[in-house]
Structure 1
Amino acid sequence: MAWPVPVVRLALVAFMALMVAFTSAAPAEPRGIPQKPADDPFYQPPEGFQNEAPGTVLRNRKIVAGFFGLLPNPIEAHQLLYRTTSTNGSAIAGATTIFKPWFPKKDRFVSFHTAYDSSATICNPSYTYQWGAPPTDLISSAEMLLIEAYLISGYIVVSPDYEGPDAAFTPGHLEGMGVLDNMRAVTNFREKLGLSTDKPMIVGAGYSGGAIATGWAASLQPSYAPELNIKGWVQGGTPSNLTSTLLLIDDSTFSGFIPAAVAGLTMPSTYGAELQPLMERILTDKGREALDFARSHCAVANLLKYPNLSLFSKDIQTMGEGLLEEPSIKSVLGKNIMGVNKDETPTAPVFAYHAKQDDIVPYDDASRMAKSWCDNGADVKFTTFAHGGHATTEIVALPDALNFVKAAFDGKTESGCSRNTELKSDLDPLALGVELEPILNRLIKVLSNLGKGDENMKNNLNVLDKTVSTS
């Protein structure tokens, strides 16, 4: 779920190269230093918003987009506050950021769900995407390089804060509805974007933590937002079963994701009413400290603070190894498994991919999810990447993802289900044409710094922390 350090340095270099290509258009004057979401009135919904339909635009503003908060991104960018829905069905507000290239295709857009993997509002993409914002969340900042690939391809790209106003990491239904209502809001904003149709074609995409939002949006769309003109979904490294993911990363280098996930599942907009009384009874002082830290810090800080943490330690909670058998916890985790219910089956084509050697998100869960969807009638292409690990696979799979997006918009995806294995572990810089060669060349450099699998990512967390603290 985390991004490797080399992305931080190399993405800056890549973006400066991209800026040269767009020097004919300068960004608007900035409004000033962006305010944190907790202090920014933009994020506060107006009185009576609960009576509006999901996807209604409550506020909008034009922003100057930035790269790591340091460099202005010379494209047109807007933000919307929109009405969406909490896990219990009540009304909440969400935010999304729209990036519009200079020569956009006007009948479509891509909804890109970044893996911000945090339960603190200072990590919201809508905050970190703004020029002048501190680089609190390096993941969404780094994934801006992938967004640039879609922009150069001519797509308008929207990127929602799908975790909602509480920044609730991992609750699938909340995140899925946040994605779908973001799509509705952008559709409702179509005139100001210059879209040529009231039913624009849409493809949703996300990796790792972003694939939780993507997969659940795909699952819920037929019942929650059937009117949307969805043409396809791209999701990779999907944590389709939170329990299995927890068991894999518990007491590991990546266990810092666990306090953020627990914090997300216990937010008021998610399962707080069910889980918070239990948490108050069983958490130790150390456990409460971990959740408090996760509610105010982003993914990299969480990983640095809590490596080799075990949620089953009685230093954290008093139930020990019996925690997952507690009825309310078991019920909540059961509701967050993709592919269990037949009525939560995507109706638009899905491209799902996963590294066989993924050491953060279990491969077998994603494979079972794809099979379940196929058994229920979905069109799913499932690609296994035989080499590389969690972080490397998002990079190596970019050409496949972009090709699927194009095929989906063109109506040329294959019907039915298929599986294939990719043996490649590097990128062809001309795989998608000369327009994307600069992007792919820089991603090759990122990949070469990662090494086989994700070993180097484990060794680079302290460097990444220094990058953040000195910015």
Structure 2
Amino acid sequence: MAAFLHSSARVVMMAFMALMLAVVSARPGAMRTLPRSIPVPSEDPFYQPPAGFESKAPGAILRQRNVSTAFLGFIEDPVTAYQLLYRTTAINGSAIATVTTIFVPSFPKTDRFVSFHTAYDSSATICNPSYNYRLGAEQADIISSAEQLILQMYLQLGYITVSPDYEGPEAAFGAGHLAGMGVLDSMRAVSNFKTLGLSSVEPMIVGLGYSGGAIATGWAASLHPTYAPELDIKGWIQGGTPANLTGTLSFSDDTPFSGFMLPAIVGMSMPSAYGAKLTPILNRILTDKGRKILDTARTTCGVEELLTYSDLSVLSTDFQTLGDRMFYEPTIRSVMSKNMLGVNKTETPTAPVFVYHATQDEVIPYSNASLMVDSWCHNGASVKFTSFANGGHATTEMIALPDVIDFVKAAFAGTTASGCTKNTELDNLLNPLALGVDLEPILVNLIQVLAHLGKRDSNVEQNLEVLTDVVTE
């Protein structure tokens, strides 16, 4: 399996590079000489907040700059782009600072923006989207690079699109409240960024994310009513949601996807997350092997960890001394219980939510997402819940794109339905023309990339056959 994954990753990267060249080849000025390598976040002064920033309000802009963005670090994305360093909040309520990247299309709708939460799933700051998006960045995160294709769809529709480093300055992956506040404070910062020329002091916003990005989306939706109620959020979209962190980690242990557990363990034990509580426990229970593996996770990105640690069992005594009782340790159990969406009534979204999930998702359990939806509906939220009966984790992100785009448009128009609805989609074939002629070329390229990532999903070959027929007609 490990050999297959390594081979698949190489194919994906080669295909993605070719597809990026195809996507931008028709854009004037899309190619230019690569600048010298830019500094990584840990060495870039822009990421360091100025003295006294702690006294600023959450969402305050601390620094700003124009940036050049690119696919894979060297194929320029010819849009106007900015980055903001802004003040946000750690788990214990203290002030921290992180960065958001703003993409502005040629003819933007100035009364709204989309907040796009990419699944960078990492506990290393070199994987931050704000770094990987930039021209000249040494690419470390394939997932963010692939999802940058999805981001182009919103730009094509005329939406200013924002992508925050919602894990904060320490890449605290998995810490739901921190990610949610990071998203909401990014929205505050962008709303107050006068350079954009937004036509409203309270612009309309739709927030969305898939998989790891759904952690940030789900928690931002949950915290919006109490943490940032002034934001005019029209809707939320989250797919493949890790609604229960314990359930997700247990589900992926000793599977081809067990590498995703490592950045979550490291991220949750960062000082800005739950380090004060978890670090002493981890120091006591980790074996030498476990320490060495987690040290590696502090410097690498999600895909590399996925490839390197396929079929690893974190719940083995080879990794830590508690074995399969690890999540029952009182402190760990207490922390993990705080990272379950839908538990507290006060953390119920007030803006409409579109939730979608594959019933056969092999990475994130469907049952946890379904339970979250039931809880939110019981507490009065308006939720559209779509279950995809075919396909798996990777292909569901692409299969759902027409529904996602429709919900974004409806949310901005104020025409989403109130109350809760559930439906099941049986067809896992995607017609790229469903999004319209302008978006069809981008979607075709995205499907080909994600098809490699989702080879274990059912009927992927059918999607590729359908696409071939559409493209050649």
**Inter-partner Cα distance in structure 1 for 2:146 and 2:181:** 25
- Does structure 2 conserve the Cα–Cα contact (< 8 Å) formed by 1:359 and 1:389? yes
Corresponding residue for 2:113?
109
Q: Please say if 1:325 is aligned against 2:325.
A: no
1:229-260 superposed Cα distances (whole Å, 9 cap, x missing partner): 10000000000001111111101111111111
Correspondence for 1:217 among 216, 220, 231: 220
**Inter-partner Cα distance in structure 2 for 1:85 and 1:377:** 28
Corresponding residue for 2:357?
354
Corresponding residue for 1:403?
406
Deviation at 1:454, TM superposition (A): 3.3
**Inter-partner Cα distance in structure 1 for 2:34 and 2:286:** 44
1:302-328 superposed Cα distances (whole Å, 9 cap, x missing partner): 112211111221111112222111111
Corresponding residue for 1:162?
166
Correspondence for 1:270 among 262, 266, 273: 273
**Inter-partner Cα distance in structure 1 for 2:273 and 2:26:** 43
CA change 1:252–1:449 in 2 (3 A) is: closer
CA change 1:151–1:77 in 2 (3 A) is: same
Deviation at 1:178, TM superposition (A): 0.4
Deviation at 1:8, TM superposition (A): 3.3
- Does structure 1 conserve the Cα–Cα contact (< 8 Å) formed by 2:35 and 2:136? no
Deviation at 1:370, TM superposition (A): 0.7
CA change 1:450–1:260 in 2 (3 A) is: closer
Corresponding residue for 2:128?
124
Correspondence list, 1:139-288, <5 A:
139-189=143-193, 191-288=194-291
CA change 1:332–1:152 in 2 (3 A) is: same
Correspondence for 1:335 among 335, 338, 347: 338
What is the RMSD computed on CA atoms of the aligned residues?
Answer: 2.0
**Inter-partner Cα distance in structure 2 for 1:69 and 1:455:** 32
Deviation at 1:19, TM superposition (A): 2.2
1:376-408 superposed Cα distances (whole Å, 9 cap, x missing partner): 000000000011000000011111101100000
Deviation at 1:443, TM superposition (A): 3.1
Deviation at 1:432, TM superposition (A): 1.7
- Does structure 2 conserve the Cα–Cα contact (< 8 Å) formed by 1:125 and 1:140? yes
Correspondence for 2:436 among 433, 436, 442: 433
**Inter-partner Cα distance in structure 1 for 2:447 and 2:58:** 41
The runs of 5 or more residues in structure 1 that have no matched partner are 458-471
CA change 1:387–1:280 in 2 (3 A) is: same
Deviation at 1:347, TM superposition (A): 0.3
Deviation at 1:9, TM superposition (A): 3.8
Task: For residue 431 of structure 1, give the secondary structure of its aligned residue in structure 2.
Answer: helix
Correspondence for 2:366 among 363, 368, 374: 363
Corresponding residue for 1:391?
394
Q: Please say if 1:16 is aligned against 2:4.
A: no
Task: For residue 438 of structure 2, give the secondary structure of its aligned residue in structure 1.
Answer: helix
**Inter-partner Cα distance in structure 2 for 1:448 and 1:277:** 42
- Does structure 2 conserve the Cα–Cα contact (< 8 Å) formed by 1:11 and 1:145? no
**Inter-partner Cα distance in structure 2 for 1:175 and 1:450:** 26
**Inter-partner Cα distance in structure 2 for 1:77 and 1:247:** 39
Using the aligned pairs only, state the percent identity: 61
Deviation at 1:176, TM superposition (A): 0.3
**Inter-partner Cα distance in structure 1 for 2:224 and 2:334:** 23
Comparing 216-225 and 429-438, the one that deviates more? 429-438
Corresponding residue for 1:464?
none
The normalised TM-score by structure 1 is 0.93
The runs of 5 or more residues in structure 2 that have no matched partner are 461-473
Alignment-mate amino acid for residue 8 of structure 1: M
Task: For residue 292 of structure 1, give the secondary structure of its aligned residue in structure 2.
Answer: helix
1:210-233 superposed Cα distances (whole Å, 9 cap, x missing partner): 000000000000000000010000
Corresponding residue for 1:54?
58
**Inter-partner Cα distance in structure 2 for 1:104 and 1:29:** 28
- Does structure 2 conserve the Cα–Cα contact (< 8 Å) formed by 1:387 and 1:452? no
- Does structure 2 conserve the Cα–Cα contact (< 8 Å) formed by 1:357 and 1:453? no
Deviation at 1:54, TM superposition (A): 0.4
- Does structure 1 conserve the Cα–Cα contact (< 8 Å) formed by 2:352 and 2:416? yes
Comparing 228-237 and 311-320, the one that deviates more? 311-320
Deviation at 1:413, TM superposition (A): 0.3
1:394-434 superposed Cα distances (whole Å, 9 cap, x missing partner): 01111110110000000010010000111221221211211
Q: How many residues align?
A: 454
Task: For residue 93 of structure 1, give the secondary structure of its aligned residue in structure 2.
Answer: strand
Alignment-mate amino acid for residue 27 of structure 2: F
**Inter-partner Cα distance in structure 2 for 1:22 and 1:230:** 33
CA change 1:71–1:31 in 2 (3 A) is: closer
**Inter-partner Cα distance in structure 2 for 1:456 and 1:66:** 32
Larger RCO: 1 or 2 (CA < 8 Å, sep 6+): 1
